[in-house]
Amino acid sequence: MPPRAWFLVHPEGLVVRSDGDRVELPDDDDAAALGVLAEGGHDLGALDDGTPAIAAALGKGPVAAPFKVGPLRGLYASLGDARFMMAGRASQIVEWGDTHRFCGRCATPMQRIPNQRCMRCPKCDFLGYPRIAPAVIVLVRRGDEALLARGARFPGAFYSTLAGFVEIGESLEETLAREVREEVGIEVTSTRYFGSQPWPFPHSLMVGYFAEWAGGDIRPDGSEILDARWFRVTELPAIPPRVSIARRLIDAWIADVAQSP
Ligand SMILES: [Zn+2]
């Protein structure tokens, strides 16, 4: 069997091997040393260099050197794009396994179906799949300005695009219009799809859009949104880090404004 890269999900983040400044994913020997059982792992597919990746849960409590636990967001710089996204996938799959141990209908212990991302109840045949919560994220434009907001729950002191979860029975376009109306009190039109990104905090799929301002003055709701303003490219506040689709939306807007006559 080729050597595998282990994404060991701990209640406080991801377990990595730390040699000085170098951060590595644990290998098979490391996983065994940490007491992880190979048969308990979830197959994640391969990393970009072909190394098979596997996810497993590690119980709470300290890990001994050379291993350490780091919050997932903080590992972006040392893991790089591909491994960071795989770590996000690992944390969601481990969370799914942890929260689907018993049947939601009859409380019987669930069994994993081999080679599928599915749990099955041996008593009533109830199937449990991983949850994915779609959310809309939108950059609203007005002329050469963009609406950016400071949210109460943002992890940093920056201004970003508006976002909100899709409710049951809603289309993405309805979510977009409702969220913008609720959070800042304006109406939008001309929504245009931009791209999407899985986001493991906790199990979202962010669906990105541009939209144009159609009417109304900004009125932050005061609970989710603390402040929101129209910004020009030349007077940008602190914006989110590059890993996020929010930043990709903002960068695409900046590039578009730069190309406009
Ligand atoms: Zn059942």
DSSP conformation letters of the chain: ----EEEEEETTEEEEEEETTEEE---HHHHHHTT--GGG-EEEEE-TTS-EEEEEE--SS---TTEEEE-GGGGHHHHHHHHHHHHHHHHHHHHHHHH-SB-TTT-PBPEEPTTSS-EE-TTT--EE----EEEEEEEEEETTEEEEEEETT-SSS--B-EEEEPPTT--HHHHHHHHHHHHH--EEEEEEEEEEEEETTTTEEEEEEEEEEEE------SSSEEEEEEEEGGG------TTSHHHHHHHHHHHHHHH--
Distance from Cα 135 to the centre of ligand 1, integer Å = 30
For residues 146 and 237, membership in a common domain is answered with: yes
139 and 24 in one domain? no
CATH number of the structural domain spanning residue 151: 3.90.79.10
How many domains, in total, are found in the chain? 2
Shared domain for 142 and 55, answered yes or no, is no
- Cα 104 to middle of ligand 1, angstroms: 7
Does residue 178 sit within a domain? yes
Query: Do 35 and 94 fall within a single domain?
Result: yes
Residue where one domain finishes, among candidates 55, 83, 99: 99
What is the domain range of residue 39?
5-99
CA of 10 to the centre of ligand 1 (A): 28
User: Distance, CA 91 to ligand 1 centroid (Å)?
Assistant: 25
pLDDT computed for residue 254 by the predictor: 96
- 123 CA distance to ligand 1 middle (Å): 5
Q: How far is the CA of 102 from the centre of ligand 1 (A)?
A: 8
Tens digit of each residue's pLDDT, the chain (261 residues): 678 999 999 988 899 998 877 888 999 999 988 888 767 789 899 998 899 999 999 887 888 888 999 888 778 878 888 888 899 999 999 989 888 999 999 999 999 998 889 999 999 999 999 989 999 999 999 999 999 999 887 766 899 999 999 999 999 999 999 999 999 999 999 999 999 999 877 789 999 999 999 999 999 988 889 999 999 999 999 998 888 899 999 999 999 998 887
Distance 205 CA to ligand 1 centre (A): 28
Q: Is the pTM of this model over 0.75?
A: yes
Please check whether residues 79 and 177 belong to one and the same domain: no
- pLDDT for 20: 75
Residue 156 sits in the same domain as residue 224: yes
Residues 84 and 162 in one domain: no
Q: Which of 53, 75, 99 is the last residue of a domain?
A: 99
Residue 108 within a domain: no
The answer to the question of residue 117 being in a domain is: no
| Res 184: pLDDT | 96
Q: How far is the CA of 5 from the centre of ligand 1 (A)?
A: 34
> Is 174 found in the same domain as 83?
no
What pLDDT does residue 1 have? Answer: 67
Would 127 be classed as within a structural domain? no
Position 162 in a domain = yes
pLDDT at 21: 75
